[in-house]
Structure 1
Amino acid sequence: MPDFLPGTQCPLRSRVDLAEFTSYRVGGPAAWFVAPRTSLELQASVDWARQRGEPLTVLGAGSNLLVSDRGVHGLTVATRYLRSLEIEREPGRLTAAAGMPLATAAWKAAKRGWSGLEWAVGIPGTVGGAVVMNAGAHRACLAGVLSEALVLAPNGRVERVTPADLEFGYRTSKLQSDSRLVLQATLQLQPDCDREVVLAGSRANLNHRRATQPYHLPSCGSVFRNPELNSAGWLIEQLGLKGHRIGAAEVAHRHANFIVNCGGATAGDIYHLIRHVQDAVERHWSVMLHPEVKLIGEF
C-alpha cells in the first residue's frame, strides 16, 4: 500500500515505472512519485521534496521528454490530473490548469468561435508544459495568447507572472532555467469570430499534422529545434537518414525531425540515435542541432 503526502490523500509511491507516463513509452523508475489532483496537493509535493532535500522532476503529458533507462532520482510529480478549464466573463478569456491538455483547450475555444488556438489542436502536451516551452506550430505560439500565469515558487509562494516576466523565445521561457512550477494559465483569445471558420482552420491544422507527422508510433514530437536557415527535418532528410535505426529507435520516414519507437526501443536507443543525427548534420552542414526534447536522468 502506498503512503500519502502529509496532510493529503495523495498517494506517494516508490519505484514507479515512468514508461507509462511518457509518449515515447520508455524510461526507468522514479525513486518517488506523486500525481496531485489539486494545487494544494502540488504544494504538498513541493514541500515534501524541499524538506528532504530531494530533487524535483515534473512531468506533464510526458510528450516532449526522454527519461533515462536508469530512472529518475528524487520526487517525480505528474501534473496531468490537474485539470480544470474556466471560461471567464470577459470575452475571449479562458483559464486552464497546468495539467489540462492544450488540444482540449484549443477545441473548447474553437467551438465557441474564439480564435487564437487553432494551431494547438494537434499538440499532445499540457497547458503547463506549453507555457514552460512556449509551444507552437503553424507560425504561432503560446506567447502570442498568454495573458498571465500562476506559478508556484520553491518556497511555496504563488506568483502571478506576465509574458514579459517569462522572457519567451523560440520554444523557450525563463521557466526552463528556474524551479517555479506552472499552476494555471490565462489565455486571451479573439472572441466573436465566425465559429465555422475557426473550426475549419482547426481541423485543417490537425489534418496537416496527421498527414505529415508519424502519429501512428510513439514519439516525443519534434526532436530538434529548427536552426535559422533551414528546418531540422530538411537538413536530416538531405543526408538520407530517414529510416536509419539504432535498436528499435528510427528516424521517421514521414518526417525526419521525428524519432519513433518502433516497438521495444530503450531510452538509450533513442538517445544514441539523437547523437548520431547531431553528429551527421554537424559534419555535413556545420550546423549543430539543439534538442527540443528534454533529457531527464543520466545518459
Structure 2
Amino acid sequence: MAPAPSWPLALRQGVALANFTSWKVGGAAEWLAEPGNQAELVALAAWAQAQAMPLRCIGAGSNLLIADAGLAGLTLCNRRLQGSSLDASTGLVEAEAGEPIPTLARKAARLGLSGLEWAVGIPGTVGGAVVMNAGAQGGCTAEWLKSVRLVDPTRPEAPFDLPAEALEFAYRHSRLQAEAWIVLSARFQLEAGHDPAAITARTSANLHSRTSTQPYQQPSCGSVFRNPEPHKAGQLIEALGLKGLQIGQAQVSPIHANFIVNTGQATAADISALIEEVQRRVMTGRGIALHPEVKRLGFGPGG
C-alpha cells in the first residue's frame, strides 16, 4: 500500500463508502480524502498520480452506486469543497464543486435570481449537477451553466476552464461522463432583477412537489432511469405492476416507480440486480430499453 503524503491532509484507509452514498451501500475505499479547498484537491490528485493509483471523485453520493467490494486507489469526496458568490445585479454565480445545488438554488432565490428554481429538490452537488446535466421540472444545468473549472488528474498542476458549449450537453449527459477530469467549480449566468419573494415561492413549490411525490424518507439515489422520451420511466415501470418488486432488501418504491429504495440492509448487488430485472421486464413487456442515469463505480471495466 502506498505511503500517505507527508503534508497534513487527512487521508484515511479502509473507509466504508456506504456512509458517503444516499443509498447507504458500498464497500470500503482503499484511501479516502475530503479536501477542504481546491488546492488540497489538486495536491491529492498529484499524489495519486505519483503513486500511479486509480483516482475517483464523488460528491453527495446521491446518483451513485458503489460496488460492495469497494474502490481501489484514492477516492476524493468533495462535499467539503463548498462556497459560492452571487452577483444580484448581473446574475453571475460562481460555486465550488461541493456546494449543495439546493443550497445554491435557495441563495439565488433570496437575491431574486431566476434559473435554479428546479434544482432545490435535487440532493446533489454543483459538480455532480454539471457532470450529469442534472435537471427536474422542466429545467436543467446546461441551460444556465456558463463555464466550468476542471483538473485533469494526469496533469493536476494545470487546472483549466471550459465553456459550457464544450461540454456536449444532452439529456442527463455531458462530455465529463467520459473524461477523467474533476470539477473544481462552476459559473452560472442567471436572470437578475426578479422579485425575491416570487422566486422563493416558486422554489419552495418545486420542493414541495418533489417531496410529496417521491420517497424521501428512505435511502435512494433519486430517479434510477432516464426517461425514454416520449415515455416516462416511472409510468412504464408502474404500468407493468413493478411497484414493490424486491430483491434482497432493495425495492422498487411503492410511492414512485422510478425510485429504488434501500428498505434496511440492501447491498449494492441487490440494487444492481433489481435495476437489471426492471430493465428486463420493461424490455420484455413493452419493448423499450431503460437506461440508468446512476453512475456505477467498482463494477468492472469502466465502472
TM range (shorter): over 0.9
| 1:23-38 equivalence runs, <5 A | 23-38=22-37
The answer on whether the counterparts of 1:249 and 1:261 sit within 8 Å (CA) in structure 2 is yes
Tell me the distance in 2 between the aligned counterparts of 1:187 and 1:275: 36
3-state SS of paired residue (1:121): helix
Q: 1:4 to 1:41 in 2, by over 3 A?
A: farther
Tell me the distance in 2 between the aligned counterparts of 1:27 and 1:158: 30
* AA matched with 1:202: T
How far did residue 87 of structure 1 move?
Answer: 2.1
Tell me the distance in 1 between the aligned counterparts of 2:255 and 2:288: 22
2:58 matched to which residue of 1?
Answer: 59
Tell me the distance in 1 between the aligned counterparts of 2:272 and 2:172: 20
Q: 1:55 to 1:90 in 2, by over 3 A?
A: farther
How far did residue 5 of structure 1 move?
Answer: 3.4
1:127 matched to which residue of 2?
Answer: 126
The answer on whether the counterparts of 2:88 and 2:193 sit within 8 Å (CA) in structure 1 is no
Cα offsets for 1:156-203 (capped at 9, x unmatched)? 211111111111110010011011111101111111101111111101
The answer on whether the counterparts of 2:88 and 2:192 sit within 8 Å (CA) in structure 1 is no
| 1:201-220 equivalence runs, <5 A | 201-220=202-221
2:39 matched to which residue of 1?
Answer: 40
Tell me the distance in 2 between the aligned counterparts of 1:69 and 1:220: 16
Tell me the distance in 2 between the aligned counterparts of 1:209 and 1:284: 28
How far did residue 53 of structure 1 move?
Answer: 1.3
How far did residue 6 of structure 1 move?
Answer: 4.0
The answer on whether the counterparts of 1:225 and 1:292 sit within 8 Å (CA) in structure 2 is yes
2:299 matched to which residue of 1?
Answer: 298
Give the gaps of 5 or more residues in structure 2. none
Cα offsets for 1:84-114 (capped at 9, x unmatched)? 1112475211110000000000000001111
How far did residue 72 of structure 1 move?
Answer: 0.7
Tell me the distance in 2 between the aligned counterparts of 1:165 and 1:159: 13
2:71 matched to which residue of 1?
Answer: 72
Tell me the distance in 2 between the aligned counterparts of 1:67 and 1:180: 19
Give the gaps of 5 or more residues in structure 1. none
Tell me the distance in 1 between the aligned counterparts of 2:6 and 2:74: 14
Say what the alpha-carbon RMSD is for the aligned residues: 1.2
The answer on whether the counterparts of 2:30 and 2:74 sit within 8 Å (CA) in structure 1 is yes
Tell me the distance in 2 between the aligned counterparts of 1:272 and 1:175: 27
The answer on whether the counterparts of 1:20 and 1:26 sit within 8 Å (CA) in structure 2 is yes
2:117 matched to which residue of 1?
Answer: 118
The answer on whether the counterparts of 1:5 and 1:44 sit within 8 Å (CA) in structure 2 is no
| 1:259-298 equivalence runs, <5 A | 259-298=260-299
Q: State the aligned residue count.
A: 296
The answer on whether the counterparts of 1:4 and 1:11 sit within 8 Å (CA) in structure 2 is no
1:175 matched to which residue of 2?
Answer: 176
2:5 matched to which residue of 1?
Answer: 5
3-state SS of paired residue (2:161): strand
1:241 matched to which residue of 2?
Answer: 242
Cα offsets for 1:213-252 (capped at 9, x unmatched)? 1000000000001102211101100110001111111100
How far did residue 10 of structure 1 move?
Answer: 1.4
The answer on whether the counterparts of 2:89 and 2:193 sit within 8 Å (CA) in structure 1 is no
Cα offsets for 1:121-173 (capped at 9, x unmatched)? 11100000001111000111011111111111220211111111111110010
Q: 1:236 to 1:89 in 2, by over 3 A?
A: closer
* AA matched with 1:270: I
* AA matched with 1:123: I
* AA matched with 2:44: S
* AA matched with 2:9: C
How far did residue 287 of structure 1 move?
Answer: 1.0
TM-score normalised by structure 2 residue count: 0.95
1:153 matched to which residue of 2?
Answer: 152
After the TM superposition, which parts of structure 1 deviate over 6 Å for at least 4 consecutive aligned residues?
A: none
Tell me the distance in 2 between the aligned counterparts of 1:95 and 1:35: 21
3-state SS of paired residue (2:121): coil
How far did residue 37 of structure 1 move?
Answer: 0.5
Tell me the distance in 2 between the aligned counterparts of 1:141 and 1:4: 39
1:163 matched to which residue of 2?
Answer: 164
* AA matched with 2:216: Y
Tell me the distance in 2 between the aligned counterparts of 1:42 and 1:5: 13
TM-score normalised by structure 1 residue count: 0.96
Same amino acid, percent of matched pairs: 49
Q: 1:237 to 1:89 in 2, by over 3 A?
A: closer
